[in-house]
Amino acid sequence: MEAVDREKITKILTAAAAAPSGDNSQPWRFVVRGKSIEFHYIPERDNAILNYEEGGTLIALGAAIQNAELEALAQGYVPHTTFHESGTCVATVEFKEGGQLDNISASLQAAILKRHSNRRTYKKVPLPQEVKSDILDPSISESAGLELSLVESREVMKGISRALTVMEETALGNESLHELFFGDILWSAEENRAGKQGLYIKTLELPPLAQMMFRLLKHWSFARLLAKIGFPQMVAKTNAEQNASASAFGVITATKTNRATYLEVGKMMERIWLTATAQGLSMQIVTGITFLARSLSNPEVARLFSPSEQERITTAHAIIKKSVDEEREPILIFRIGTSDGPTDVSYRREPEIVFAN
Ligand SMILES: Cc1cc2nc3c(=O)[nH]c(=O)nc-3n(C[C@H](O)[C@H](O)[C@H](O)COP(=O)(O)O)c2cc1C
């Protein structure tokens, strides 16, 4: 079978690699065989404490597959994706000639390279009705037993906002989480431009004083001292207000989790994010706490946290579950709203592509 044009493959895989990934870990590798691309995952790139069931890695791969499918249409191919239950290749996307973008997929495809995490304070205005109906469209919000809940009630949002910040509060007061969080901050524009894994300090949108504090806080001895005088709680309070400035929280829930579930969550999340971007809205994934809470079922992880930390994390998780549907598991949470654009953005390294034919 004739191979797909290399230039087109590069465009498809540049779109794939523009997908979001936890800590910008970019946990993917691509193998091109004739008219198909294999999506291989690298779960070791994501941190074991947070990567419960390798879910973070698989969600990132799902988002990459979503982008690749949209870009394939733009390049004139019809993509057909098959998920694999085991092995490092999580999915194969085959291409047939004759693809074409319709109006909706054209607007999503145009948003792929414009989508960025926006961690600013948002403008606390209601979600525009057309955006709401677009992202709640069943073709986006219901797949493989997943559901998207939009939380817009200010009262419920307040509870979720506070629950989410248990993540930062714990990261500033627990040595293991502190190491994970501060170890992965990129302090220079050069590192960021090189597409290194980690969060570039400027994308965290900290006020100038907090940015200076962060340089000191990266030393555990300093963070531990401040934890004794209630600094983590102060930060949590400020961040809760920032979270609550969104128009809504989106929570993607499932009743069971396996590889396909996480890949589908990634695809759904990316479609929502591209829809929001196309409509000029901002988004931030704020899901750390759900992954941390679920990871506590692993004794190796649980022993890193004191009983009171564990209780705080479990309570935060329960608040989020109760705000949506106690019968379902919240897999991924994001905030969405109106805001100025992000101060800076994260870059990608050159994607690893193997041409196997
Ligand atoms: C599974 C997953 C979890 C994430 N969790 C968070 C989070 O808790 N907080 C946050 O600010 N960003 C989170 N992100 C966003 C990434 O940090 C972001 O996508 C990455 O740094 C690349 O930046 P970009 O989205 O601007 O391209 C998450 C992304 C994924 C895929």
Pair type for strands 28-33 and 353-355: parallel
CB 310 within 8 A of CB 302: yes
Write out pLDDT tens, residues 86-132.
Answer: 999 999 999 999 999 999 999 999 999 999 999 999 999 999 999 99
| CATH code for the domain defined by 6-115+346-355 | 3.40.109.10
Task: Give the integer Cα–Cα distance in Å for 1 and 295.
Answer: 45
Task: Give the integer Cα–Cα distance in Å for 152 and 146.
Answer: 19
How many residues are recorded in the chain?
357
Task: Give the integer Cα–Cα distance in Å for 151 and 307.
Answer: 30
* Ligand 1 near 271 CB (within 6 A): no
Write out pLDDT tens, residues 325-340.
Answer: 999 999 999 999 999 9
What's the rounded mean pLDDT across residues 35-52?
A: 96
pLDDT score for 334:
98
Share of the chain above pLDDT 90, in %: 90
Task: Give the integer Cα–Cα distance in Å for 282 and 125.
Answer: 12
**Closest to 66 measured CA to CA, from 277, 248, 254:** 277
The yes-or-no answer to whether 6-115+346-355 and 129-337 have a common fold is yes
Residue 189: pLDDT over 80: yes
Q: Which atom of ligand 1 is least distant from the CA of 118?
A: 26
* Ligand 1 near 312 CB (within 6 A): no
Write out pLDDT tens, residues 197-212.
Answer: 999 999 999 988 888 8
Fold of the domain built from segment(s) 129-337: NADH Oxidase (3.40.109)
Using the 8-state DSSP alphabet, how is residue 24 labeled? G
What's the rounded mean pLDDT across residues 61-74?
A: 98
A 10 A CB-CB count for 191 gives 16
Return the domain boundaries, the chain: 6-115+346-355, 129-337
A 10 A CB-CB count for 145 gives 13
Mean of per-residue pLDDT scores for the chain: 95
The residue nearest atom 19 of ligand 1, judged by CA position, is 20
Write out pLDDT tens, residues 125-181.
Answer: 999 999 999 998 877 767 778 999 999 999 999 999 999 999 999 999 999 999 999
**Does 18 or 34 have the greater pLDDT score?**
18
The residue nearest atom 7 of ligand 1, judged by CA position, is 286
* Ligand 1 near 267 CB (within 6 A): no
Mutate to test the pocket of ligand 1, among 196, 257, 285, 333 (most ligand atoms within 8 A of CB): 285
* Ligand 1 near 286 CB (within 6 A): yes
The residue nearest atom 9 of ligand 1, judged by CA position, is 286
* Ligand 1 near 20 CB (within 6 A): yes
Report the separation in Å between the CA atom of 20 and the middle of ligand 1, taken as the mean of its atom positions.
6
Task: Give the integer Cα–Cα distance in Å for 137 and 105.
Answer: 14
pLDDT score for 2:
64
Return the HEC string of 299-329: HHHHCCCCHHHHHHHHHHHHHHHHHHCCCCE
Q: Which atom of ligand 1 is least distant from the CA of 21?
A: 31
**What is the Rg, in whole angstroms, of the alpha carbon atoms belonging to the chain?**
20
Burial of 213 (0-12, 13-18, 19+ CB in 10 A): middle
Task: Give the integer Cα–Cα distance in Å for 65 and 94.
Answer: 11
* Ligand 1 near 56 CB (within 6 A): yes
Residue 1: pLDDT over 50: no
The residue nearest atom 31 of ligand 1, judged by CA position, is 21
* Ligand 1 near 66 CB (within 6 A): no
Strands (E), the chain: 28-33, 36-41, 77-83, 89-97, 147-151, 185-186, 199-200, 248-254, 282-285, 329-337, 353-355
* Ligand 1 near 346 CB (within 6 A): yes
